[in-house]
Structure 1
Amino acid sequence: MPRGDKSSYTDKQKRQVAHIEEGYEKRGVSHKEAERRAWATENKISGGGRKSGSGRKH
């Protein structure tokens, strides 16, 4: 999977990114920078893309 591929993210994660991105753009951040920050924020919250297995976070 190439870097930047968003296929491993769930629909919920993608919706959250769109919402975070909207918030950054409202604060005057450019679209490209808002998108970058939104994905970085989502990665921090969820730990990245789709993860399998119970009890992943301890």
Structure 2
Amino acid sequence: MPAGSSPKRERQYEHIKDSELERGASEDRAEEIAARTVNKERARAGEAKTASRSSTEDISSGRRGGMRSGRGSQGPTYDQLYNEARQRNIHGRSDMNKEQLRRALDKEK
């Protein structure tokens, strides 16, 4: 987070980071997603000194709600499925392809 950011943005950053970690993202990836999201919200609210056109004209992060997060028409990504399989301790997951991971996870539900 940039120096001097508001307590609200600090809380928002931590919340997004924790949420991404729960979804199976690595620490670095979770921090990157949280920082990008908070910076975009800062730009939209006029709190940033500079803002790209996509930050101010695109739909808000909250409204978008993960539309572009790999859960679109093709479903979760291989990495998302693999991380979920690891959390559920599914054996043989490293040898599985995306469809096999999906089936194994569906069986475990």
Structure 2 CA distance for aligned equivalents of residues 7 and 16 of structure 1: 15
| TM-score for the superposition, normalised by structure 1 | 0.67
- How far off is 1:44 after superposition? 1.3
After superposition, the CA RMSD in angstroms is 2.1
| TM-score for the superposition, normalised by structure 2 | 0.38
Task: Note the residue ranges of structure 2 that are not aligned, 5 or more in a row.
Answer: 48-109
Greater RCO (CA < 8 Å, at least 6 residues apart): 1
Larger radius of gyration: 2
Structure 1 CA distance for aligned equivalents of residues 36 and 25 of structure 2: 15
Number of corresponding residues: 46
- How far off is 1:6 after superposition? 2.1
Q: Counterpart of 2:25?
A: 29
- Matched residues, percent identical? 30
Query: Aligned ranges for residues 3-18 of structure 1 at < 5 Å?
Result: 6-18=2-14
- How far off is 1:16 after superposition? 0.4
- How far off is 1:25 after superposition? 0.4
